[in-house]
Structure formats: C-alpha cells, structure tokens
Amino acid sequence: MSQENDEQATVTESSVLVRRSPRYFRFMLAGAILFAIVALILTFAFPANPTYDRGSVFGFLLAIGVAVGVTIGAVVALILDRATNRRARTVQADRIDVRTTQGEQPEDGDAPDTRSSIES
C-alpha cells in the first residue's frame, strides 16, 4: 500500500495593523501597590488618634488607597494605549493555507489532514 501525499497551498495577502498595547492588569496592580505603600506611610506620618488605633486607620486608608490606585492605574494604561495607537503601522502579511490529502481515500471516513500557518 503506497500512499502519495498531494499538497495544495493557498497564499492570501492582507494588510494587518501592528501596534503595542499596555497590559492593563499590571498597571492596575502597580497602582494598587503604590497606594498601599502611601497608605502605610500616611498611617505612621501623623500622631496616633485616641479614638482609632493605627490598625483601623491603616485598614481604612488601605481600602480607599487600593481602590484609587487601581482606578489611576487603569486610566494611565488607557492614556498610554491611546498614545501608542498613533504609532501603529500597517504591514502586509501572507497567510499560507496548506492542505495535505492522501492519494488513497481513508477507509474509516476521516477527513484529510489540514495544516494552517501564518508568515509575515
């Protein structure tokens, strides 16, 4: 039983927009960590309050600071995303679809092997 492989390649050209974008989660995490540190500094920067202990003050400042930090980090990431969008460029990309079929029909009814790749 000899099986010959027939390959059919199809090349399609298209224009693709290439740009960089920031990672939003990292910016929000950095903002949260930065404002958590600010909350820690503010907790010990002022004299102790007789009504609230330092743990309560830190917890309150931490809750507010993390929320503000995540928001500011997301806004900074959005601004950077808009700024990098201006530097986006369009390039030509070739998509190559290769279909490999065997010379004899498979007996069990399987579909022919299909591979697809993208080259730029």
pLDDT by residue (tens digit) across 57-73? 999 999 999 999 999 99
Give CA–CA dist 53/49, Å, rounded. 7
Q: Which of 86, 77, 96 is nearest to 32 (CA)?
A: 77
Specify whether 45 is located in the same domain as 58: yes
Q: Are 76 and 106 within one domain? A: no
pLDDT in tens, 1-29: 455 677 787 888 888 888 888 899 999 99
Per-residue model confidence as pLDDT tens digits over 76-107: 999 999 888 888 888 888 888 888 887 655 55
Other CB atoms within 10 A of residue 62 CB = 18
Number of domains in the chain: 2
9, two tokens:
């390649």
* Domain span at 103: 1-19+92-120
